[in-house]
Structure formats: structure tokens, C-alpha cells
Amino acid sequence: MRFITQPGPPIADRIQWVEARGRAFTFTMEQGVPLLEAARRGFAAHGFAGGVLDIKRGALGPFAYVMPALSKTPDHAAFYSDTYRPAGVTQLTTGTMTLGIRDGAPFFHCHALWTDEGGRAGGGHILPEETIVAEPFEVEAFGLDGTIFAAEPDPETGFKLFGPVAAAPSGATTDRRAFALRLRPNQDFAGCLEAFCRSHGIHEARIRGGVGSTIGARFEDGAIVAPFATELTIAAGRITRGESGLEAVLDIALVDYTGALAQGRLVRGDNPVLMTMELVLEIVA
């Protein structure tokens, strides 16, 4: 399996996880409000400090983002590009967001694909500080109670990354058992989720959110993304019973460091995590 050496030593626990309670709901991002604040308000209105959300459409402007890039120093295995700020209104086509905290304040990690006002398709990592909701749009959210994603220094990758940590219950209304996860580098995406579910007695789950990166990508239809640095969003995902036992079904969209886009269903067993993968498992059975 493909492997990228990280600047720091691997951490023994390859999955960071917290069991929690959660609930799915929808809300509308408010026009004219910074995207981070619009997300915070939407979760807070339902009693949650954070969680994950899925974006199927949306209009942003002003809009700022970065793409994956090669690192210019040995401090990181890969890095970010310069900041891009397309003119006009950018239309999101698919995306996922993790809403948590960084340095004690709300923060998000969001990967998406979009079309800019000039008709150019693109994708990458949306910057919370500079992005505004241009038109109202609805999102599907999953709020978490008993855990929150917190950005903390990660000595293995050299980045400050989101991972779930325990949090005091807020008293929000919940109706589902859930696990908040962060997968560490150089382990197969699907295989890691399948092993986790087997070890925790999970027979069926829906994947909520899903923001991270893989070392290139291999798809079921035979398509290959060769450039190793990607930014990935899970368009749809589930853990289900298959002929060989538990199977992770992962439909994703990504951009690689050359700016090329790819979408499809990942092959199980041949898609290792590059830097991180954060998501929520909503337990069905």
C-alpha cells in the first residue's frame, strides 16, 4: 500500500475517537454572514456547539480557499497553496464541514468542490476567515453532544489538526448513538473504518461529514489519481454488511495538488490516509 513518510514519529493509537450522542437536522445558512458564523448559529439554534455537515449546494462570495501543494520544507509531507480569491459568487456543488473549536473559539475544517462565476470548476479547503454566504442555502447537519472536534498540534504531521475530544453534555436533544473519529496517516481508509466497527460491535452505520486527505486515489471504475496530495470530501458513505463481512462504501470528491478534480467510489484496501480523515459514524445497528 502507498506510504508517505511524515516528519514526526507515528502515534501509537491510529484512530482518535470519542463515543457520543447526536441528532440530524437541517438549517439554512444566513445570507451576508461569514460562513463560520452562519454554521455556528445553525448548530447553536439546535443546542449544539459543533458537529459535521453535508453541503449539496451553496453560494459564497467573497470566497477564499487554498489547495493542496507540495511542501517547500521538510517540516511537512505536503502543504497548502497560496490563497485564491475568485471574483463574484462561487457555487458549491458538494462539500463537507467539521465545526469545532480552535484556540478556544469556533472554527471549521471544510473541503468542497465548486464552480466559480466564470464557469471554472475547482475544489479545495475553504478559509473560514474570509468567506461570506452570498445567498441562503440549506445544509444537512449532525450535531454532537458529549464530544467536540478540537484543533490541537499533531507531532506526527506537524500540523494543527481537528480531532474529537470529550466534552461535557450540553443537554441538547439527541436520538442517535454516534462515534466521532479522526483517522491518522498511512492506513487504508475503508479498512480502518471496517476494523473499528468490528471492534465496537457496529453492524451498520451512516457516515456523516467526512473531511480529510488520501495518498492519491484508486476508484472502483479503474480511475486513478496519481498525485499524492489531495483534499477530499465524502459525498456519501456508509458501513454495511457485504459478502465478505463489513464493508465501507465511500463515494468521494477531491482535488489534487495539480488542481485536477476526481469523483467516484473508492476501492476498499487501496486508499491510505495522507494527513487526516475526520468524520462521524451515526450508528444504525
- Expressed in percent and rounded to 5, the helix, strand and coil fractions of the chain are 10, 55, 35
- Evaluate whether 164 touches 182 at the Cβ level (below 8 Å): yes
Q: Strand, helix or coil at 285?
A: coil
Ramachandran area for residue 51 (φ above 0: left; ψ -120 to 50: alpha; else beta): left
Domain ranges of the chain: 21-144, 177-283
- Residue 35 dihedral angles phi and psi, to the nearest 5°: -55, -40
Length of the chain: 285
| Closest to 217 (Cα-Cα) out of 235, 196, 232 | 232
- pLDDT, tens digit (0-9, with 9 covering 90-100), for 34-45: 999 999 999 999
Burial label, 19 (beta-carbon count in 10 A; 0-12, 13-18, 19+): middle
Distance between CA atoms of 251 and 248, rounded to whole angstroms?
Answer: 10
Instruction: Give the predicted TM-score (pTM) of the model.
Output: 0.97
Distance between CA atoms of 229 and 67, rounded to whole angstroms?
Answer: 9
DSSP state of 219: B
The confidence score (pLDDT) of residue 243 equals: 85
The CATH code that applies to domain 21-144 is: 3.30.1330.80
* Residue-level pLDDT, tens digit, the chain, 285 residues: 899 999 999 999 999 999 999 999 999 999 999 999 999 999 999 999 999 999 999 999 999 999 999 999 999 999 999 999 999 999 999 999 999 999 999 999 999 999 999 999 999 999 998 999 999 999 999 999 999 999 999 999 999 999 999 999 999 999 999 999 999 999 999 999 999 999 999 999 999 999 999 999 999 999 999 999 999 999 999 999 988 899 999 999 999 999 999 999 999 999 999 999 999 999 999
| Closest to 202 (Cα-Cα) out of 231, 182, 176, 235 | 176
The CATH code that applies to domain 177-283 is: 3.30.1330.80
Distance between CA atoms of 63 and 124, rounded to whole angstroms?
Answer: 12
